[in-house]
Structure 1
Amino acid sequence: MRAIKTLFSLIAICLSSLLMSPTSHATALEADYIVAVVGDTVITRNELRSRLEVVLKQLTKQGTPLPPQEDLERQMLERMIMETAQFAYARESGLRIDDTQLDQAIGRIAASNQMTLAQFRSTLEKDGIHYPSFREEIRGEMIMARLREREVESRLVISESEIDNYLANEGAQGNDEYHIAHILLRAPESASPEQLLKLRQRGEQALTKARSGENFAELTAAYSDAQDALQGGDIGWRRLNGLPTLYAETVARLQPGQISDLLRSSAGFHIIKLIDKRGGNQPTSVRQTRARHILIRTNEVTSEAEARHRLETVRERIVNGMDFAEQARIFSQDGSAAKGGELGWLNPGDTVPDFERAMDALQPGEVSAIVQSPFGMHLIQVLERRDRDVTDERQRMTARQVIRERKLEIAYQDWLRQLRDRTYVENRLEKEL
């Protein structure tokens, strides 16, 4: 029973608007029409209705009071618009998740719930979840995660001077952790004064309701444009210095249960609720990995299949005794090629998740199978590992991670807003409402 509960908790996080079950197909018999146009893709009323059915079940199961149907429809359609825009951009830029990667990801979800893949599938189907649709939803979540890694995370630059400044001014802060939830009302990049005024009024309306005691999770479902809106806007536990500056400065002044004023940022308007606070523990040692890799980039010229084939040939040579470093100098399309693919000593979080997960599974001296990341196809070899009880180094590493977390959410929201603004969108539901 505990495993089953964990399973559906995980699904709720990964699939914030799960998929329609086979019984939902009956809805398709109702009159259908287009409610939004996104680029060259349309979203129909029945597609929106099917997504809403599942979300309503999810909110009911969580015990979240339901927001007005009109508000929930508006929020769900905006979410579908953003998903469609991201999928279109991924498709145009050649980002794909093949069936092998998808099966591996679903296998990890099943294993984390102590189930075989067959047991996992059976459990989903018993709960009325259409398994082929579930697979495609997971594929979609992976594509959006890869987009975030490639378009936002990989482009964040953290300078040594930023780290020095952080350590001088904030490094001595306590390690207390804060559990917060938020509402984001996203503003268009070039919003007019009239649009900002309308958005501010909507934010003030949400704030008034929150402070009058209305359920915050219900309000996020009705008002928030953030990706976590259907999870109650729950950001989870964060250290104060791991939050965006605006959030950190605000949360520091709140007591558990309190709600902030309406806040303004470049992304739009925000409302923050401090749910709880606790003391945090800082790790005393770090597991570091010294590794090297060979990268073949995928793009319009080099397909995933071609890159994979080239690397399989290289891997076979290495397994048969050829020098990894020499092969990296010849074939790798990464800046580390001149150093034989050497990446030096890596701390947790230094590489993108797909790369780090594969690297962590290797024994020293072992060469990985082909690993796909947002940058292309990799071969990875772990040279050695060590546990370091560091002081200054750990402080700088922690500072880098904190600054990265702080900048990431702001950068991601900016990227989403820019993508939304440059995508042709016709929201016909707004005209209905």
Structure 2
Amino acid sequence: MKREFRARTAVAALLALSATLSGAIPAGAQQPAGGQSALTASQRQAAALQLPEITVMGTVDPNVRKANAIVNGDIITDTDVDHRLGLVMIANGGKVSEEERNVLRLQVLRNLIDEKLQIQEAASHEVTIPEAEVEQAYGRVAANFRQDRAAFEKFLIDGGSSPSSIKQQIRAELAWSRLLRRRVEPFINVGDDEVQAIIQKLEASKGQDEFRVGEIFLSAPPELQAQVMQDASRIVEQVRAGASFVAYARQFSESSSAQLGGDLGWIRAEQLSPALQGVVASLPKGGVSDPVAVPGGVTIVALVDKRQVLSADPASAILSLKQLTIPLKQGISEAEARKFAASIQEKTRNMGGCGRAEAVAKEIGAEVVSNDQLRLGDLPPQLQQILGQMTVGAATPPFGSAEDGLRVLVLCGRDDPKASAGTPSFDQVYGQLNDQRVNSAARRYLRDLRRDAVIDYR
């Protein structure tokens, strides 16, 4: 059974605009000796032209909006680019350098050109999106920001964007998705023997590792492979420096997983491209790979989590806890804090379980907070190790800081996880293969549209 191909959602695209491919001018770059700035490549080229000094004869009015590009007769104005760029400023809280704005402006223009091509191609095949459907999707975007439509509109305008910019993105996504379902997906073939071969490989891997993987895929024809590899390296640098992998995936990845922030879910290594299997297996949890050349482009992968196939994942245990928080007096010394913590541990070590937590808390001047749905894997590693070995009714040693006070966790109950899911069904494997081939065909389709387009830059 074929699954519906889904383009990136407007919500994903909006949230993703916080990611940028800056790095063209690294912060803190050193100047040459002698205090003189090095000429940029463009400055050297301009100098080589030996241009005379010029006098501008006309006037420049920033309030006049000229066409930035004309795509097969459809205009993209500076306003269109500014409003889409405004979404970036919103997502970054205005913290975007001038260099980053220049780099991102080019990326935004390329995205807008692609949107025009997608809408035009859809219209040529009588695929149109009713305004009511666009408005409904726009309402869902506003709801994701927990605002009504009026408040969300003001939020966008104050940030330098506009509702029309998001609606245009929604319209392009819906039109392209519908066009692919009509003209691409019906011609994708996945053989039963292919599906069965993958299932057999998966069954043979029982007891081995499976991985929660994120991906960023950038398409690259052979002649542009080196350039795309450099772009991918910039993304890796930014993510390793603390940028959001999810945001970069949503904005720049050309895979259908982009709408999910690049999340591929839980997969076995055998389900990945051969070039990626060893890379994922060698990554530490939370690690991001170097760019990897794969058929059709370049991929970056991130290892979100790891577990054993058909084995219970201890980190998925759901804990029921009571937390006792005891404030520390201002200016307390480390020695005094350790002495106080020892006295608290003595009183909570044999407190008799959660049933006496409130009574003990009153005795030591603590505040009690309960949490019955806390996943063990969401706790800091040190607490995971302690709580993972504790019996119900036991209490952790005190921990905390001078600012936050001391805390003690009492384990009230624990729901251990079941074994992970077995081999994917025939339909699940079929759907994954189908999506991969639709993605590949969609990239070729858009590449051909770009190649044949008449684009006039102004």
**How much has 1:13 moved relative to structure 2?**
1.7
Alpha-carbon deviation of 1:104? Answer: 5.4
Identify the residue that residue 127 of structure 2 maps to in structure 1.
95
> Separation in 2 of the partners of 1:58 and 1:88?
29
- 1:403 equivalent to 2:433? Answer yes
Q: 1:106 to 1:75 in 2, by over 3 A?
A: closer
- Distance in 2 separating the partners of 1:105 and 1:411: 26
Question: Please, which of 235, 260, 271 is the counterpart of residue 300 of structure 2?
Answer: 271
- Residue 395 of structure 1 and its aligned partner are, at CA, apart by 2.8
Deviates more, 1:213-222 or 1:157-166: 213-222
Report the CA distance between 1:396 and its aligned residue: 1.9
Who is 1:260 aligned against? 289
Offset of residue 134 of structure 1: 5.1
Q: CA deviation at 1:90?
A: 0.9
Q: Which residue of 1 aligns with 2:100?
A: 68
Distance 1:176 1:393 in 2: 11
| Alignment partner of 2:116 out of 79, 84, 91 | 84
> Aligned-pair distance for 1:263?
1.9
Q: Does 1:122 align with 2:150?
A: yes
2:119–2:175 contact (8 Å) kept in structure 1 = yes
* Selected match of 1:236 from 263, 276, 279: 263
Q: Secondary structure at the match of 1:86?
A: helix
Distance in 2 of aligned mates of 1:98 and 1:219: 30
State the secondary structure of the residue aligned to 1:182.
strand
Deviations 1:36-87 (A, max 9, x none): 33222232223212211222212338x9999722221121111111111111
75-84 or 97-106: bigger deviation: 97-106
Q: Percent of pairs identical after alignment?
A: 21
In 2, Cα distance between equivalents of 1:108 and 1:220: 19
Instruction: Show the counterpart of 2:198.
Output: 166
Distance in 2, matches of 1:217 and 1:67, equals 19
Q: Can you give the 5+ residue segments of structure 1 that lack an aligned partner in the other structure?
A: 1-9, 19-27, 283-390, 429-433
**Corresponding residue of 2:447:** 417
User: Would the aligned equivalents of 1:183 and 1:226 in 2 still touch at CA under 8 Å?
Assistant: yes
Q: What SS does structure 2 have at the residue aligned with 1:90? A: helix
Contact kept? 1:254, 1:274, Cα under 8 Å: yes
Determine the structure 2 residue equivalent to 1:36: 69
In 2 relative to 1, CA 42–15 (structure 1 residues): closer, same or farther, beyond 3 Å? Answer: same
Corresponding letter in the other structure for 1:263: V
Rounded Cα–Cα distance in structure 1 between residues aligned with 2:454 and 2:204: 47
Read off the aligned partner of 1:260 and give its amino acid letter: S
State which structure, 1 or 2, has the greater radius of gyration over its C-alpha atoms: 2
Q: CA offsets, 1:401-431, max 9 Å, x none?
A: 2322443433333333233223233556xxx
Structure 1 residues 136 and 395, CA gap change in structure 2 (3 angstroms): closer
C-alpha contact 1:245 1:406 (8 A) present in aligned 2 = no
In the other structure, the counterpart of 1:375 is none
CA 279–60 in structure 1, closer or farther in 2 if over 3 Å, else same: farther
Q: C-alpha separation between the residues in 1 aligned to 2:264 and 2:109?
A: 29
Matched-pair contact (CA < 8 Å) for 1:75–1:223: no
Q: Does 1:139 align with 2:168?
A: no
2:294 corresponds to which letter in structure 1? S
Q: Distance in 2 between matches of 1:258 and 1:416?
A: 32
Change (3 A) 1:150 1:426: same
**Cα 1:109–1:41 shift into 2, 3 Å:** closer
Q: CA deviation at 1:162?
A: 0.7
CA contact (8 A) 2:122 2:128 kept: yes
**Deviations 1:149-178 (Å, cap 9, x if unpaired)?**
334433321111111211222344468451
Contact 1:156 1:404 in 2 (8 A): yes
The answer to whether the 8 A contact 1:257-1:273 is kept is: yes
Separation of aligned partners in 1, 2:246 and 2:144 = 31
Q: Deviations over 1:191-227 (max 9, x none)?
A: 54xx4444444444554x358x423438975997435
Q: 1:205 to 1:98 in 2, by over 3 A?
A: closer
Equivalent position amino acid for 1:35 in 2: N
Q: 1:92 to 1:243 in 2, by over 3 A?
A: farther
Q: 1:416 to 1:265 in 2, by over 3 A?
A: farther
Unmatched 5+ stretches in structure 2: 1-8, 18-60, 312-420
CA distance in 2: counterparts of 1:263 and 1:272, whole angstroms = 9
Deviation of the 1:128 alpha carbon: 4.2
Q: CA deviation at 1:94?
A: 0.9
Match of 2:216 in 1: 182
Counterpart CA distance in 2 for 1:65 and 1:170 is 47
User: After superposition, what is the alpha-carbon deviation per residue over 1:266-297, rounded to whole angstroms, capped at 9, x for unaligned?
Assistant: 43223323344467899xxxxxxxxxxxxxxx
Q: How does 1:7-406 map to 2 (within 5 A)?
A: 12-13=11-12, 15=14, 30-60=63-93, 68-102=100-134, 105=137, 120-128=148-156, 135-173=167-205, 176-182=210-216, 184=218, 186-188=219-221, 192=223, 195-207=224-236, 209-210=237-238, 213-217=240-244, 225-226=252-253, 234-241=261-268, 245=273, 248-249=276-277, 250-277=279-306, 395-406=425-436
Aligned partners of 1:37 and 1:425 also within 8 Å: yes
Aligned length: 289
Tell me the amino acid that sits aligned with residue 89 of structure 1. E
| Contact 1:59–1:65 (8 Å) recurs in 2 | no
Note if contact 2:216-2:252 (Cα within 8 Å) is conserved in structure 1: no
SS at match of 1:72: helix
CA contact (8 A) 1:178 1:239 kept: yes
CA distance in 2, matches of 1:89, 1:236: 29
Could you tell me how far 1:113 is from its partner in structure 2?
A: 6.7
Q: CA deviation at 1:88?
A: 1.1
1:396/1:121 CA distance change after superposition, 3 Å = same
Instruction: Give the partner amino acid of 2:12.
Output: I
